[in-house]
Structures are given as C-alpha cells and as structure tokens.
Amino acid sequence: EVLLRMHSVGICGSDVHYWQHGRIGDFVVKDPMVLGHEASGTVVKVGSGVTHLKPGDRVAIEPGVPREVDEFCKTGRYNLSPTIFFCATPPDDGNLCRYYKHNASYCYKLPDNVTFEEGALIEPLSVGIHACKRAGVTLGSKVFVSGSGPIGLVNVIVAKMMGAAAVVVTDLSASRLQKAKEVGADFTIQVKNETPKDVASKVEGVLGCMPEITVECTGVQACIQTGIYATRSGGTLVLVGLGPEMVMVPIVNAAVREVDIRGIFRYCNTWPAAIALLASKRINVKPLVTHRFPLEKALEAFETTKRGEGVKVMLKCDPTDQSP
C-alpha cells in the first residue's frame, strides 16, 4: 500500500446520490462512509513491498481494487469481481480526505505535464474509454451520445479520439450541449417533449443516416427507448447511465433488427491508456472542470453539484496547494 496526501477529488453524481438517498440499487449505506472516488494525490509513504512508487510521486488513483484473484481477474475483467473494493461504494470508504491509503498497484504515476485535476478526471474518462471500447467505436463510426453530463462528455471526447467521423449529442440543457460542442461534438439536439421515435428521427436527420453506435448516458426510460429506435440495424447500444431497475423498452424492435444491447460496469485496464493520451495532449479534459472548492467547503461543493451547475466540481484537499 501507499499513503497519499490527497490533492484533487471530483464529485460524481453517485456521490451526490448516496448523500441524498443513502443507496444506489443494491448498494445501501448502513454506516457512516467517506465519499469520493475521482482522485489524485502525492505519495508520502510506501509499504515495504512497493517498488514502483516513492515518496513525492504524483499519482492518479484507480478506485476499484479486486480483493482476490478470481475468475474475472484471470480473464482481465476484474471490474466484475463480486468482492472488489471500490472507493465510496458501501461499505468501502472513499478518498475525500487529507490523507488516504490505497493499494499501490492501483496508483499510477502521473507525468510532469499532467495536472492533479487531469489525474482525478481519469476516473470519469475511464468510463468513456470502457464504454467506447465495448461499443466498438472505430474509424468512421457515426455515434449518438444520449446525455451531455460529465459522462456523456467524456464519451464524446473518447469517441472522437477513437476515430468517430460524426458524434451527435442530445440533452435537455442548452448550456450542457454548448459544452458538448466545446469538447468535440459535431451536432447537438436539444430535446424538449418529443417522443422517443421523434428524437431518433432527428438524430438520423442531422447525421444523414442512423448511427451504428449509441451510448446512452442518462438511464432515463424514454432515452433508452430512443437509443433502440435510433441505432442502425446491426449496430450497438451501450447502456452507461443507470436509472430505475425496471424499464419498458421496445426489445422486439432491437431483436428483429439485430441491435446489440451491451451494459458496462465501471471500467478495467484504462488508466495507462488515459495517462498516455493526456500526456501526449491527444485529448483535453480540462474544460470539464467548472468549479473548485477547498475541502472545508465540501457541503457547498456538493450542493453546487446537486443543483446541476457547471460540469465537474473539484474539491481541493491540500490546504498548501490549491492549484489545478
């Protein structure tokens, strides 16, 4: 393990959800729990078995650590391990604190030209990398991203990086769609009260064809329905956003058109690629950070996130260094 002096921790929608509702699906908060899982910091101490890190190293933290080498770890899909430790998922504490210890194998050294905040943003960025890989985004892909929150935005960034020729984004919020344009979306559609089929036809209209790939980042029933109607026959719909346990979807429409529906659960094996992309300046996640608060103002930061202001709110945990 390594002991870290925490620097930057992003607030995720799931953090707010635990704070407000005390549960997400089967994960129920039964005891006090530290939040935070999008994080970076500086190594201050290393355990006796740690050889790849030393005090002073700046690191990004992968929050999911398998507790045992089970069949999922052996096949490289450790995110599916049922006994995995995960920061800020009950009963495991997160890292929104001054000091935090973590498994050294899941701390990744940051190059000098990658900031702490970029390091913290690797966590949401990883959701985009994992989703776009599961979707099969490749050169020339036409992609529909449903939802323009932080996770929708990282999917836009990653899809473009992976060679998507055109990306269209839908959302209710004009300001969020403007941010999608900033990070590389080719088209945006502001949804008002259209039916799912209407939205699907608008997506086809702006792209000039139906997208081969849809990445659904809201979890809203109507949006999942739109995702099925919008995706080209033989294409892929990836469900990233999580909503109610039961949703009504036009499953026969998907079945007879051979639309593959895939889920994702967090990510695996994404940190090295994300660090390489950030270090080479091939992608830019800096525009995602819109608000910063010192750790003492955590409540204010959480309330800002809850109100849906900005995109990504960062908490600064080191009183001696509030830099990005």
Residues 169 and 135 in one domain: yes
Claim to verify: residue 144 and residue 240 sit in the same structural domain: yes
Token pair 């809201």 in the structure block, residue: 218
* Residue 269 included in any domain: no
Q: Are residues 139 and 239 in the same domain?
A: yes
Please tell me the distance from the alpha carbon of residue 40 to that of residue 311, in angstroms, as a whole number: 19
pLDDT score, position 25: 87
Return the pLDDT at 34.
Answer: 98
In angstroms, the CA 245 to CA 297 distance is 34
**Residue 119 is assigned to a structural domain of this protein:** no
Is 133 within a domain? Answer: yes
Q: Are 120 and 150 in contact (CB under 8 A)?
A: no
Name the strands in the sheet holding 236-239, side by side, starting at the edge strand that comes first in the sequence: 187-190, 166-171, 142-146, 213-216, 236-239, 260-263
Signed CA dihedral, 168, 170, 176, 177: sign only: positive
Is the CB of residue 137 less than 8 Å from the CB of residue 164? yes
Which residues make Cβ contacts (< 8 Å) with residue 189, sequence separation at least 6?
A: 168, 169, 170, 177, 199, 202, 203, 206
User: Does residue 280 lie within any of the structural domains?
Assistant: no
Residue 301 lies in a domain: yes
What is the model's pTM? 0.97
CATH of the domain at 80: 3.90.180.10
Residue 321 lies in a domain: no
| Pair 230, 312 in one domain | no
Encode pLDDT of 118-163 as tens digits.
Answer: 999 999 999 999 999 999 999 999 999 999 999 999 999 999 999 9
In a domain, 154, yes or no: yes
Whether residue 251 is found in the same domain as residue 296 = no
Rg, the chain, Cα only = 19
Question: What whole-number distance in Å separates Cα of residue 319 and Cα of residue 9?
Answer: 13
* pLDDT string in tens for the chain (324-residue length): 999 999 999 999 999 999 999 999 899 999 999 999 999 999 999 999 999 999 999 999 999 999 999 999 999 999 999 999 999 999 999 999 999 999 999 999 999 999 999 999 999 999 999 999 999 999 999 999 999 999 999 999 999 999 999 999 999 999 999 999 999 999 999 999 999 999 999 999 999 999 999 999 999 999 999 999 999 999 999 999 999 999 999 999 999 999 999 999 999 999 999 999 999 999 999 999 999 999 999 999 999 999 999 899 999 999 999 999
Domain that holds residue 36: 2-109+285-316
- Per DSSP bridges, beta strands 187-190 and 213-216 are unpaired
My answer on whether 75 and 186 are in the same domain is no
Helix (H, G, I), strand (E, B) or coil at 66: coil
**Same domain for 227 and 197:** yes
Provide the 8-state DSSP code for 93: -
Helix, strand, coil share of the chain (percent; to 5): 35, 25, 40
Residues 253 and 290 placed together within one structural domain of the fold: no
CATH of the domain at 214: 3.40.50.720
Residue with tokens 């913290």: 120
Q: Which long-range contacts (CB under 8 A, 24 or more apart) does 126-129 make?
A: 126/62, 126/266, 126/267, 126/270, 126/271, 126/274, 127/151, 127/154, 127/155, 127/240, 127/264, 127/266, 127/267, 128/154, 128/155, 128/156, 128/157, 128/158, 128/159, 129/158, 129/267, 129/270, 129/273, 129/274
Residue 196 is inside which H or E element, if any?
helix 196-207
Asked whether the beta carbons of 154 and 287 are under 8 A apart, the reply is no
Q: What pLDDT digit, counting tens, does each position of 169-199 carry?
A: 999 999 999 999 999 999 999 999 999 999 9
Helix (H) and strand (E) counts in the chain:
10, 17
On whether residue 268 sits in a domain, the answer given is no
* Mean model confidence pLDDT for the chain: 97
Q: What is the DSSP string of 67-92?
A: SS--HHHHTT-GGG-TT-EETTBTTB
pLDDT at 170: 98
Angstrom distance (rounded) from CA 120 to CA 271: 11
Distance between CA 242 and CA 14 in Å, rounded? 10
136 and 102 part of one domain: no
* Count of the separate structural domains present in the chain: 2
Q: Which residues contact 19 (CB under 8 A, 6 or more apart)?
A: 35, 302
Q: Supply the pLDDT for residue 199.
A: 98
